[in-house]
C-alpha cells in the first residue's frame, strides 16, 4: 500500500496478516535522498522464516526505485535478533541514542543504523 511519502508492506498467509513494515521517504529539500524503515513486525509463530528479511529487501528495492541513497532504521539495543537481521541485510551502525526509548518505565538505548544504496 502506497500513500504519499509512505509505503506499507504486509506479509500474509491464507489472507491472515503475519508481518508488517513501513518505509517513509523524506520530502524535505535537504534530506530528499533519505528514507527510513519502521514498524518491522512478524507474528511470533512465523519468525525465523526470512519473512522480515524479504520485507526489508522489498523495501530497499522500492527505495532504490525512488532514487533514495540512504535508508535508516533504528532498534532497541537489547533486541539482539533484530540487530543481527539488520546487519545481515547490510545496515551499519552509525550511532546510539542513549536512553532513546522508555519501555515499562525503564530507559533503553536505541541503535541507529543506515544502509547506502
- The domain limits of the chain are 2-116
pLDDT at 40 over 70: yes
CATH class of 2-116: alpha beta
For position 3, what pLDDT does the model report? Answer: 57
| Global pTM value | 0.90
| 39 — pLDDT class (breaks 50, 70, 90) | confident
What average pLDDT score do residues 88-107 get?
Answer: 96
Taking the C-alpha atoms of residue 80 and residue 59, their distance in angstroms, rounded to an integer, is: 21
pLDDT at 68 over 90: yes
Handedness of CA 63, 88, 52, 72 (dihedral sign): negative
What average pLDDT score do residues 80-90 get?
Answer: 96
The 3-state secondary structure of 63-100 reads: HHHCCCCEEEEEEECCCHHHHHHHHHCCCEEEEEEEEE
What's the mean per-residue pLDDT of the chain? 94
pLDDT at 1 over 50: no
Amino acid at each position: 500500500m502506497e500513500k504519499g511519502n509512505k509505503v506499507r508492506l504486509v506479509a500474509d498467509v491464507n489472507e491472515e496478516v503475519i508481518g508488517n513494515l513501513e518505509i517513509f521517504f523524506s520530502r524535505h529539500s535537504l534530506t530528499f535522498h533519505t528514507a527510513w524503515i519502521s514498524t518491522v513486525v512478524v507474528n511470533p509463530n512465523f519468525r525465523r522464516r526470512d519473512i522480515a528479511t524479504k520485507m526489508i529487501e522489498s523495501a530497499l528495492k522500492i527505495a532504490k526505485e525512488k532514487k533514495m541513497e540512504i535508508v535508516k532504521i533504528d532498534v532497541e539495543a537489547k533486541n539482539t535478533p533484530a540487530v543481527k537481521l539488520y546487519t545481515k541485510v547490510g545496515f551499519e551502525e552509525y550511532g546510539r541514542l542513549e536512553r532513546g526509548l522508555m519501555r515499562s518505565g525503564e530507559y533503553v538505548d536505541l541503535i541507529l543504523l543506515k544502509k547506502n544504496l
